[in-house]
A and B are shown apart, each in its own frame.
Chain A
């Protein structure tokens, strides 16, 4: 069974650049959530999407945006990258509410 897939797995960007991270949920799952995991901390909620609509947003600046496509895949976009954006970005999918979420391997973003 295909789990949650994220691409790319690793990424190095320069300060000020833009990045797009991608996520494909488990087949049949309609909800996608994004989390940021900084080294030594637990994942922090960024966004939740369900049926292409934003259902929740965490305490992140407007440089962070996301969207969900008709096939339920999702993109996370970050503009004007800062060094502090370096983290593991996790995507999680669930049937509807994120009551039981399944996580992907994550995208390791390094901003230099």
Chain B
């Protein structure tokens, strides 16, 4: 069965700290991977995506993610977080028809 798991449900960081959110997927065949962000009161927005090629993917707002096929992982990173990064982050995967989401990680960045 297709599944996505996110290990950290809540993360609290101080501004300028580094961020890494874990994501593992279980998928047969070709998989496309995504990180979405949901800021308070706003809609889901795409942070970055991986389809193929360079496993290190750079997205918006300084975020990046690394696809490690052998570990079935697609972890999200940011070297220095800001207060405005406070949001919920979702990892998602798709083969063809649907996006399968993880349960999300709530990130709180304290100023």
Residues of chain A having any CB pair with chain B under 8 Å: 3-4, 33, 35, 40-45, 48, 55-56, 58, 90, 92, 97-106
Chain B stretch 6-33: residues in CB contact (< 8 A) with chain A: 32
B side interface size, CB within 8 A = 22
CA distance A45 to B43 in the complex (A): 16
Binds A, one of B55-63, B68-76, B77-85, B100-108: B100-108
- Distance of A36 from chain B, by nearest CB (Å): 11
Do B49 and A100 touch across chains, with their CB atoms under 8 A apart?
yes
Q: Which residue of A lies closest to B101 (CB)?
A: A42
| Known A-B contacts A41-B103, A42-B104, A99-B32; A104 and B43 likewise in contact (beta carbons under 8 Å) | yes
- Distance of A108 from chain B, by nearest CB (Å): 11
| Known A-B contacts A55-B97, A99-B94, A100-B49; A41 and B104 likewise in contact (beta carbons under 8 Å) | yes
Do A97 and B97 touch across chains, with their CB atoms under 8 A apart?
yes
Do A56 and B101 touch across chains, with their CB atoms under 8 A apart?
no
Do A42 and B90 touch across chains, with their CB atoms under 8 A apart?
yes
Rank and list the top 5 A-B pairs by shortest CB-CB distance, nearest first. A42-B101, A56-B97, A45-B98, A103-B44, A105-B43
Other contacts beyond A42-B103, A58-B98, A103-B44: 13, CB < 8 A? A3-B43, A33-B98, A40-B103, A42-B4, A42-B102, A44-B101, A55-B97, A90-B44, A97-B96, A97-B97, A98-B98, A101-B99, A103-B45
- Distance of A14 from chain B, by nearest CB (Å): 27
Offer 14 A-B interface pairs, CB within 8 angstroms, sorted by A: A3-B43, A4-B43, A40-B104, A42-B92, A42-B101, A45-B97, A45-B100, A48-B98, A97-B94, A98-B94, A99-B94, A100-B46, A103-B43, A106-B43
CA distance A101 to B94 in the complex (A): 11
Do B94 and A102 touch across chains, with their CB atoms under 8 A apart?
no
Residues of B within 8 A of A35 (CB): 99, 101
